[in-house]
Amino acid sequence: MTAVDGGRRPIRFNAFDMNCVAHQSPGLWRHPDDQSHRYTDIDYWTELAKLLERGRFDGLFIADVLGVYDVYGGDDVAAIREGAQTPVADPLLLVSAMAVVTEHLGFGITTGTGFEHPFPFARRLTTLDHLTKGRLGWNVVTGYLPSAARNFGAADQLDHDERYDHADEYLEVLYKLWEGSWEDDAVVRDVDRGIYTDPAKVHHIGHAGKHFTVPGIHVGEPSPQRTPVIYQAGASPRGTRFAAENAEAIFIAGPSKRVLAQTVSRIRDELEAAGRDRYAARIYALATIVTDSSDEAAHRKHEEYLSYASVEGGLVFMSGWMGIDLSQYDLDDPIGDVQSNAIQSAVAAFQEFDDDGREWTVRDIGRWAGIGGMGPVFVGSGETIADLLADWQADTDVDGFNLAYAITPGTFEDVVTHVVPVLTERGQYPEEYVPGTLRHKLVGRGDRLPDEHRGARYRIGGPGSTALSEEQVRAGSLIDSH
Ligand SMILES: Cc1cc2nc3c(=O)[nH]c(=O)nc-3n(C[C@H](O)[C@H](O)[C@H](O)COP(=O)(O)O)c2cc1C
C-alpha cells in the first residue's frame, strides 16, 4: 500500500463475513435493512466484493465452521432456532465469482485442518489461487466444535494442543506439495517435442508422517503465490506459536485494549523467536463499526441495532467458543476460573478484567457477543471512529481491523461512506492498492513466501524437503526412504 503521512502505519481493513445468516450478530437478521439472508444469492457476494474494493479493504475474510453450536443447553435447538451460524454454506465456492468482478480484493477462506485430507485440499487452493490471479488467503483453523468432530465419526475433537500438532503435519504436507513438488520452469509447453511438462522438474514429495502418507506429486501446477497467504486466528500460547511459524496475517479478538495489547506483544515476540521480523505478520483486531453522518445519528442506529440483538444467541456463540454451557450459570455469575478445550484465548480474554477494572459476568458476555462477536463496537461519526481507530492502533500495535457487521451490507456501506474518506484525508488509510498478488499487497516483498518462512524450508533442495529424485522414484524407494 502507499506510504502515509508522517511515517505512521496505515490503518488496514478486512471485512469479516460468513456464508450464513447474521454471522456474529445474532438476532439482527430480523432488522428490515439486513440482507444476510441473501447469503445463498451469488449477487450478494459479488456486490459485497465490489463495495469492499471501492473501500480499498485488504480482503474479505470468510469464516467457517462445520458443526453446530450445541454446547449451550446441551443441544442444537437454540442454534437452529436463532439461525446462529446454522444453516451455513461452503466458503470456497464463493471465491471465483467475486474474483471476476474485482481486481485487487483478497479472499481469506477458512477451512479446518481436521476435515479434509491435505492432498485434495492442496489442489483446490491451487486452483483458486490461479483463478484469483494470486489473491487467495487461507485461514487455518483447527476447529473448536465437538459436534463437527462427531459427524466425522470421532467421539470428540482432539485435545486443544494436539489439534495444533495435527495441523503442523497438515501444513508440512501442504508446503511440500505447494513449494517442493514443481520447479518454476517445469511446464515447458514445447510444441515441437510434444512435451507439456518436463517430468524431471516435477518431484514426488515422499511424505510419510504420523497422520498422513503422501508419496506423490502435487497434481496442480504452481499458482502465482504457490502457498496462499496463510491467515490464522488462534491466540492461546500453543496457537500463538503455531501462528508465529506459519501466519502472514493474524486475526485476534478481545474486549479491551489491554487484552489486545498483551496478545499483540506476545505474537510479535513469538514471531521473533521463530526467526521472523516482529512485523512479518499483519495483525487485525476484530471490531464492529456503527457510523453515520453525526455522533447522534450513529448512537441512534446503535440503539436500534441493540434492540434486535439476541442475548441468547450471543450465549449460544460464547458457549461454543468457550466450550462451556453458559445456560447452567446465573446471568450475574462472574465468568471465573473455567478451563476450556475449545478456544482457550476466548476464555482468557473474558477472565481478564476490562479497561475499567470490572469483572465480566455471564450476562455481560451474552450482551457483548450480541453485535459483532468478541470484538468492541465503535459508535460515532466518521471523525469519531477515525479517532478511536487511531487510538486503539497506537495503544495495541495492531496493523488494522477485521470488521464484523451488525447488518450487511449496511455496516460495510457505512464504513466506506463515512470512515474511509476521513482516514484517507488524514493520511491514515491507503490511497490506492499496490498492484500484484495478495501477499505482495500485504507485505510488499513479492508473490512467494519469504525465505525465512517455515514453508520455504520445504522448497526443492531446502532443509525440510523430502522431494525424491527420479532415480529414487524408479527404484521404488518412495516410502522406504523415510
Ligand atoms: C477473529 C477470529 C475468527 C475465527 N474464525 C474461525 C473460523 O472461521 N472457524 C473456526 O473454526 N475457528 C475460527 N476461529 C478460532 C481459531 O481459529 C482457533 O481455532 C481458536 O481461536 C482456538 O485456538 P486458541 O485456543 O489457540 O485461541 C476464529 C478466532 C478468531 C479470534
Please check the confidence at residue 1 and state whether its pLDDT lies above 60.
no
Q: Is 182 in the pocket of ligand 1 (CB under 6 A)?
A: no
Beta-carbon contacts of 114 under 8 Å, excluding residues fewer than 6 positions away, are 142, 143, 148, 149, 152, 157, 158, 163, 166
Establish whether residue 263 lines the binding site of ligand 1, counting it when its CB lies within 6 angstroms of any ligand atom: no
Q: Is the pLDDT of residue 453 over 70?
A: yes
Residue whose CB lies within 8 A of the most ligand 1 atoms, among 144, 158, 160, 270, for a mutation test: 144
What is the mean pLDDT of the segment spanning 372-381? Answer: 94
Report the nearest-CA residue for atom 27 of ligand 1.
234
Same domain flag for 156 and 270? yes
pLDDT category at 467 given cuts 50, 70, 90 is confident
Cα(234) to centroid(ligand 1), Å: 5
Q: Is 110 in the pocket of ligand 1 (CB under 6 A)?
A: yes
64 Cβ below 6 A of ligand 1: yes
Q: Tell me which residue of 325, 370, 334 sits closest to 354, measured CA to CA.
A: 334
DSSP tag of 80? H
Per-residue confidence (pLDDT) for residue 461, from 0 to 100:
87
Q: What pLDDT shows up at residue 342?
A: 61
Q: How far apart are alpha carbons 240 and 236 in whole angstroms? A: 6
Pairing relationship of beta strands 187-190 and 195-197 according to DSSP bridges: antiparallel
CATH of the domain at 10: 3.20.20.30
- pLDDT tens digits, 254-296: 888 998 999 999 999 999 999 999 999 999 999 999 999 999 9
Taking only the tens place, the pLDDT of each residue in 88-122 is: 999 999 999 999 999 999 999 999 999 899 999 99
| Other Cβ atoms within 10 Å of 364 Cβ, number | 18
> 344 CB less than 6 Å from ligand 1?
yes
Pocket test for ligand 1, best of 19, 110, 347 (most atoms within 8 A of CB): 110
Number of the ligand 1 atom closest to the C-alpha atom of 340 = 25
State the distance from the centre of ligand 1 to the C-alpha of 480, rounded, in angstroms: 38
Supply the residue whose CA is at minimum distance from atom 28 of ligand 1. Answer: 233
Could you tell me if 433 and 59 are in contact, meaning their C-beta atoms sit under 8 angstroms apart?
no
pLDDT value at 479 more than 50: no
Interval 24-41: pLDDT, tens:
999 999 999 999 999 999
Identify whether residues 351 and 382 lie together within a single domain.
no
* Residues 6+ away with beta carbon under 8 Å from 56: 13, 104, 420, 429, 430, 431, 432, 433
What pLDDT was estimated at residue 480?
43
Q: Are residues 292 and 363 in the same domain?
A: no
Please indicate whether residue 286, judged by its CB atom, sits closer than 6 Å to ligand 1.
yes
Number of domains in the chain: 2
329 & 454 share domain: no
CA of 444 to the centre of ligand 1 (A): 26
| Cα gap 177→174, rounded to integer Å | 5
Q: Are residues 329 and 219 in the same domain?
A: no
Spacing, Cα 106 to ligand 1 middle (Å): 19
Least confident range from 21-30, 162-171, 320-329, 468-477: namely 468-477
pLDDT, tens digit (0-9, with 9 covering 90-100), for 166-201: 999 999 999 999 999 999 999 999 999 999 999 999
The CA 354 to ligand 1 mean position distance, Å, reads 21
In a shared domain, residues 63 and 211: yes
Q: CA-to-CA distance for 237 and 160, rounded, in angstroms?
A: 11
Q: Which residue, of 354, 369, 384, is where some domain finishes?
A: 369
Please tell me which residue, 320 or 128, carries the higher pLDDT value: 128
Q: Are 288 and 309 in contact (CB under 8 A)?
A: no
**Residues 396-440: tens digit of each pLDDT:** 999 999 999 999 999 999 999 999 999 999 999 999 999 999 999
Crossing angle of the two packed helices 160-180 and 237-246, in degrees rounded to 10: 10
Among the ranges given (49-63, 217-231, 266-280, 459-473), the one the predictor scored with the smallest mean pLDDT: 459-473
Centroid of ligand 1 to alpha carbon of 28 (angstroms): 22
Ligand 1 mean position, distance from CA 371 (Å): 17
Do 359 and 401 lie in one domain? The reply is no
pLDDT, position 6 = 41
**Cα 474 to ligand 1 centroid, rounded to whole Å:** 43
Spell out the residues 6+ positions from residue 251 whose beta carbon is closer than 8 angstroms to its own. 14, 16, 61, 139, 231, 232, 233, 283, 284, 285, 286, 402
Q: What DSSP string runs through 91-113?
A: SGGGHHHHHHT-SS-EEEEEEET
338 shares a domain with 294: no
Residue with cell 497467504: 229
Domain termination site, one of 334, 369, 404? 369
| Ligand 1 centroid, distance to 343 Cα (angstroms) | 7
For ligand 1, say whether the CB of 49 is within 6 Å of any of its atoms: no
Using one digit for the tens of pLDDT, what is the confidence trace for 332-359? Answer: 887 765 556 666 666 666 666 566 666 7
66 lines ligand 1 (CB under 6 A): no
pTM score of the predicted model:
0.93
Cis bond before residue 409 (omega within 30° of 0): yes
Distance 232 CA to ligand 1 centre (A): 8
Ligand 1 binding pocket includes 343 (Cβ within 6 Å): yes
The answer on 137 and 93 residing in a single domain is: yes
143-148 average pLDDT score: 83
Q: Atom of ligand 1 at shortest distance to CA of 18?
A: 8
C-alpha 195/C-alpha 183 separation (Å) is 15
Residues 158 and 231 in one domain: yes
Same structural domain for residues 131 and 255?
Answer: yes
Residue 329 above 60 pLDDT?
Answer: yes
Question: Which pLDDT band, with edges at 50, 70 and 90, does 369 fall under?
Answer: confident
Instruction: Determine if ligand 1 sits within 6 Å of the CB of residue 112.
Output: yes
For residue 109 and ligand 1, the question of a CB distance below 6 A is answered with no
pLDDT of 477 strictly over 60: no
Average pLDDT value over all residues in the chain = 91
Share of the chain above pLDDT 70, in %: 92
The pLDDT, as a whole number, for residue 17 is 98
Residue 156 has pLDDT above 90, yes or no: no
CA 285, CA 399: separation in Å to the nearest integer? 8
Q: What is the mean pLDDT of residues 322-335?
A: 84
Domain, as residue range, for 181 = 5-310+375-481
**Cβ 246 under 6 angstroms from ligand 1:** no
| Cα–Cα distance for residue pair 248/449, rounded to 1 Å | 9
Omega before residue 87 within 30° of 0, cis: yes
Residue 120 grid cell: 485434495
Cα–ligand 1 centroid distance for 284 (angstroms): 13
Residue 55, CA distances (Å) to 17, 50, 346, 377, 422 in order: 16, 9, 30, 20, 12
pLDDT of 243 reads 96
Residue 13 has pLDDT above 70, yes or no: yes
What are the tens digits of pLDDT across the range 207-259? Answer: 999 999 999 999 999 999 999 999 999 788 999 999 999 999 999 998 889 98
Q: Is the per-residue pLDDT at 3 higher than 50?
A: no
Residues 207 and 350 in one domain: no
